[in-house]
A and B are shown apart, each in its own frame.
Chain A
Amino acid sequence: MAGLATGGLPPRRQGLMRRRARRQRAFRWVVVTVLGVFFLLPLLAMLEFTTRGAGGRLSFDTWRLLFDWGRLRATYPDLSVGITDSAGLVVLTVLLMLVLLVPTVIWVRLRLPRLRRVVEFICLLPLTIPAIVLVVGLAPVYAWVTYFLGGSSLTLTFAYTILVLPYAYRAIDAGLSSIDVRTLAEAARGLGAGWGTVMWRVVLPNIRSAVMSAAFLTVALVLGEFTIASLLNRSNLQVAINLLGKSSAGMSVAVSLAALVLAFVLLMLLSLVGGRRRGIPKENNS
């Protein structure tokens, strides 16, 4: 009766499963720690790099400058132009993506089911066409775009809409698959709704979170795009960061970090939006 004095659970209860759980916990900690260091170190280094003052002292000058729009515009005009352009591109591309993709995808589901595979194929095609390849073919197209619409950086929105097609399509398609579009539409039609009403008042509200995630992904992608803007000689945030890197490394690193954090916050919001949908209670095993 050696176990008598220990109180609580006798030793044999420290069973296999608990040992296995402990081993798994240890393994998880190792993986999380090692990869955590690998992934956080560059971010911390960025923070350190941008707060490095003269003589090794802490200095927040760079950050103060970054958040002082007036002064930033005076000091780094290219950067401020890049930020404005990217902001404009975000808005335009989200709008263009929504206007172009959402009605089409819903319409194809409702009225042209045979086209569904075609649309899917087209939307996923940009995955197999690297941006660097696309830009090669886009150059002549953009000669025409410049001819008709001028050389503004905002015209990049056309190319970006192509780039976001796969991600936006998948998000919207997943949303549509999770509801029974046909039955919804038939029910609404049976109650006297026209096709416009069906799409706008019936289907769209039911895939709102899918549309939201398509929009979030678009924002993140546009904020991070460099290849096309750079090679078509347009400006955006990433082009400006790259350009700035040659003259003022501190500021370009600071902007990079700020952009990363912004994108992270966006995707975190997205996961919260998406998470609410998955609120189906799990079946409880007795």
Chain B
Amino acid sequence: MTGSIEMAATARGDQRGVAVRLDGLRRRFGAVQALDGLDLDLAPGELVALLGPSGCGKTTALRVLAGLEETDSGRVLVDGRDITTTPANRRDMGMVFQAYSLFPHLTAQENVEFGLRLRKRAAGERRRRAAEMLELVGIGAHAGRYPHQLSGGQQQRVALARALAIEPQVLLLDEPLSALDAKVRVQLRDEIRRIQVEVGTTTLFVTHDQEEALAVADRVGVMRDGRLEQVGPPADIYLRPATPFVADFVGLSNRLPGRVVTGAVEVLGSRLPLVDPVGAPKDAADVTALVRPEAVDVAADPDGTGRVLAVSFLGPTSRVTVELPDDVLVVAQVASARLAELASGTAVRVELHPVPTALA
């Protein structure tokens, strides 16, 4: 960060984060209710990620905010002003698309200058600003290249620079990383976050990749069928999923048979507190609990009822699949250092950590 303080200062000087409010948005496409009363608030300078499976309405929400899609009802407010009927080209929103959005007949530099050219800025100012932006996204060296001479990751960097060059009120990122290789994806996602913090623009980031959403966002909104299931900081979404859908969609979960016991659920002999004790079924009901692999502990024990079925090495941690009586399978996450004692076929004992648990 120290290296970029100067840049951050200049960038922040002419940027201001504004508040954004989506208020009861509805949109129907034929038989599909893409948005079903969506409410979402973004604080000034905040990065909110909309997360959900394909078809959940997250892209429609972003496009409505961009002005590229119209709503059937509901309002869009930016900085307190109702812009629901403002056309896209007067909304001042920088947008980064999934892919292929750079103009192929313009160089990286000219792409970034494009928005400024439309605003009739002087040539000198355009060039300076574009160079600054390309530097910010880390590809100043390729300013003269055409899109087809750039890799997918570089193209998305240019797209980001182009979107930021017009000093947008709001930055909209529509699955900007999903067309990229896994490694580039992680690298660029961290950089998007760095840049967003630097320029301080309120940002909506749409993705179907939960890891991505949790990594970059101040808050994550999980969407399903055109409405929000839960909005909150990444840690909340992950550790205290409000609904079974969220628990299931975010992170990997074991589905284990359990029984409700006064505000908790008993699974494999352990009592786990419930995320939502009020909405839980009555006592003694048979339920399916969603348990994260990292909440499962496995230890070699000759008297244990479990048997290691398979081990997959993931680096510092590994996943161990254990078979329990009654055909129950449990996936546990353990430190890879412990793999030596957990070879396939080993008899093991399984314990669960008492973390808040959701029911399916």
Question: Known: A12-B85, A15-B85, A16-B87. Contact between A285 and B70, CB under 8 A?
Answer: no
Q: Say whether B85 contacts A286, CB under 8 Å.
A: no
Among A9, A13, A283, max chain B CB count under 10 A is at A13
Q: Say whether A285 contacts B87, CB under 8 Å.
A: no
Interface mask (B82-96 → A, CB under 8 Å = 1, otherwise 0) = 001101000000000
Q: Which of B109-145 contact A (CB under 8 A)?
A: none
Chain A CB within 8 A of B57 CB: yes
B54 neighbours in A (Cβ, 8 Å): 283-286
Q: Say whether A286 contacts B59, CB under 8 Å.
A: yes
| Complex Cα–Cα for A12 and B69 (A) | 14
Q: Say whether A286 contacts B87, CB under 8 Å.
A: no
| Complex Cα–Cα for A281 and B293 (A) | 35
A15 neighbours in B (Cβ, 8 Å): 70, 85
Chain A CB within 8 A of B58 CB: yes
Within the complex, the shortest CB–CB distance from B52 to chain A, in Å, comes to 7
Among A12, A17, A18, max chain B CB count under 10 A is at A17
Question: Known: A12-B85, A15-B85, A16-B87. Contact between A286 and B60, CB under 8 A?
Answer: yes
Q: Is the interface of A mostly helix, strand, loop or mixed?
A: loop
Chain A CB within 8 A of B14 CB: no
Within the complex, the shortest CB–CB distance from A275 to chain B, in Å, comes to 23
Q: Say whether A9 contacts B72, CB under 8 Å.
A: yes
| Complex Cα–Cα for A15 and B86 (A) | 9
Q: Say whether A286 contacts B72, CB under 8 Å.
A: no
B165 neighbours in A (Cβ, 8 Å): none
Number of interface residues of B (CB under 8 A): 19
A283 neighbours in B (Cβ, 8 Å): 54
Q: Which of A1-44 contact B (CB under 8 A)?
A: 9, 12-13, 15-18
Within the complex, the shortest CB–CB distance from A15 to chain B, in Å, comes to 4
CB-based nearest A residue for B61: A286
Q: Say whether A286 contacts B53, CB under 8 Å.
A: yes
Q: Say whether B70 contacts A286, CB under 8 Å.
A: no
Within the complex, the shortest CB–CB distance from A140 to chain B, in Å, comes to 48
| Complex Cα–Cα for A283 and B314 (A) | 30
Chain A CB within 8 A of B345 CB: no
Q: Which of B62-82 contact A (CB under 8 A)?
A: 69-73
CB-based nearest B residue for A10: B73
| Complex Cα–Cα for A283 and B59 (A) | 13
CB-based nearest A residue for B34: A286
Chain A CB within 8 A of B56 CB: yes
Residue in contact with A286 in the complex, picked from B57, B71, B73, CB distance below 8 Å: B57
Q: Say whether B56 contacts A13, CB under 8 Å.
A: no
| Complex Cα–Cα for A12 and B83 (A) | 12
Residue in contact with B52 in the complex, picked from A16, A285, A286, CB distance below 8 Å: A286
Within the complex, the shortest CB–CB distance from A189 to chain B, in Å, comes to 32
Within the complex, the shortest CB–CB distance from A47 to chain B, in Å, comes to 40
Can you list 8 residue pairs at the A/B interface with Cβ under 8 Å?
A13-B73, A15-B70, A17-B70, A284-B54, A286-B34, A286-B52, A286-B53, A286-B55
B residues adjacent to A (C-beta < 8 A): 34, 52-60, 69-73, 84-85, 87, 208
**Nearest 3 A-B pairs (CB), nearest first?**
A15-B70, A286-B59, A286-B55
